[in-house]
Homo-oligomer: A and B are copies of this chain.
Amino acid sequence: MPRTSSTRAPGGAVTLQQVAAAAGVSLATASRVLHGSGGRRVAEALAERVTTAASELRYVAHAPAQSLARSRSTVVGVLVHDIADPYFAAIAAGAMDVAREHDLMVLVANTFRDPGLERDYLARLRAQRARAVLLAGSAFVGEPFAEEVAAFAESGGRVAAIGAHGTGIDTVEPDQYGGGRLMAEHLVSLGHREIGVITGPAGLATVAQRLAGFTSVVARPRLVHADFTREGGRAATHELLTRHPELTAVFALNDLMAAGALAALRELGRPVPERVSVAGFDDLPVATDLTPALTTVRLRLAEIGARAMRLLLDDEPVGRLVPAEAELVVRESTGQASTLH
């Protein structure tokens, strides 16, 4: 039985007031003991009484009230296109790890690549006074998103992005371009000259950069746009090989599409890599388990997410650009260009 007459809060939650009463001290003292920030110390004995009372009552501070009083919250936001996509899941996991080290909670928003939803979520993150937000999805080129980002920053939040989202915000920039180039060089070195590329939605920055890197080596690949999914890759591969049966290699701009490509080639009865080589991008865990195991470009996604979160949480000036290396991972799905066609 608490020895205070103050009633329980509506939700039934214990308040600091109650803790203070139970400990026989003032609200101020209780606050100083439990969340004491400002250099002020409280005598041993009192502090003890307060902490005891708090734990007996299972007190946890009302975070919204704290945010209000301190005018800073303990949540950060992560905006992803789709958390069920292992690409984003890996980034989010890395970011959440770092957030935990800093005792922050993470609000995850699934935007489904819908620019409207993206803006909306960003506004709501601003409403929450999230300390920072990580834009993990690759930007749509030229989307009218900058305004909302600016509003967020203006209201005191930090912003960082994976891949360029504009100037003035911290960015972790995976070397998409370099990755594309590496893969092109790899395929060329294997003798491939007729290469098809399965790209994602036009206008997705990631796609553009990977492709640009590739075409810096292979001038005019056969292109086909598709959904950034397994199914998209499968359909695109069928289309590609129907129109260009002479192709000896297919480069899918992500691993999901590459998985679809492998499925399609199996359906078409073209052995990989003997007849057609296949390559992907991202090095998702699934890459190893495909048959044949997928040659791809590795992005250390968890690491990238973690770095971005660190950028958000340190006290350095903003606008930094941290590169993240792309690395060629050669497995079994690529081989010498077949000479017969």
The one of B82, B85, B156 that contacts A12, using a Cβ cutoff of 8 Å: B156
Residues of B within 8 A of A84 (CB): 86, 89-90, 92-93, 302
Residues of B within 8 A of A320 (CB): none
Residue on B with the closest CB to A301?
A: B84
Interface assignment of A97: CB less than 8 Å from any CB of chain B = yes
Q: Is the Cβ of A129 less than 8 Å from the Cβ of B63? A: yes
The one of B62, B100, B124 that contacts A127, using a Cβ cutoff of 8 Å: B62
Within 8 A of B (CB), among A56-91: 58, 60-65, 67-68, 71-73, 75, 82-86, 89-90
Q: Is the Cβ of B108 less than 8 Å from the Cβ of A154? A: no
Q: Point out which of A71, A85, A117 has the most chain B C-beta atoms below 10 A from its C-beta.
A: A71
Q: Point out which of A64, A128, A151 has the most chain B C-beta atoms below 10 A from its C-beta.
A: A64
Residue on B with the closest CB to A154?
A: B12
Within 8 A of B (CB), among A1-29: 9-14
Lowest 5 CB-CB distances: which A-B pairs, in order?
A11-B156, A291-B291, A64-B67, A84-B93, A64-B64
Chain A window 221-252, contacts with chain B (Cβ cutoff 8 Å), 1 for yes, 0 for no: 00000000010000000000000000000000
Q: How far is the CB of A91 from chain B (nearest CB, A)?
A: 9
Residues of B within 8 A of A117 (CB): 100
The one of B13, B65, B129, B263 that contacts A13, using a Cβ cutoff of 8 Å: B129
Residues of B within 8 A of A285 (CB): 230
Q: Which residues of A pack against B, CB within 8 Å?
A: 9-14, 58, 60-65, 67-68, 71-73, 75, 82-86, 89-90, 92-93, 96-97, 100, 105-110, 117, 123-129, 151, 154-157, 230, 259, 262-263, 285-286, 288-291, 302
The one of B97, B106, B289 that contacts A108, using a Cβ cutoff of 8 Å: B106
Tell me the complex Cα distance, A93–B84, Å: 6
Residues of B within 8 A of A90 (CB): 84
Q: How far is the CB of A68 from chain B (nearest CB, A)?
A: 5
Tell me the complex Cα distance, A290–B290, Å: 6
Q: Is the Cβ of B60 less than 8 Å from the Cβ of A126? A: yes
Q: How far is the CB of A35 from chain B (nearest CB, A)?
A: 11
Residues of B within 8 A of A97 (CB): 110
Q: List 14 A-B contacts (CB under 8 A).
A: A12-B155, A13-B126, A60-B123, A60-B127, A62-B127, A64-B64, A64-B68, A64-B73, A75-B107, A83-B96, A84-B86, A84-B90, A107-B108, A263-B289
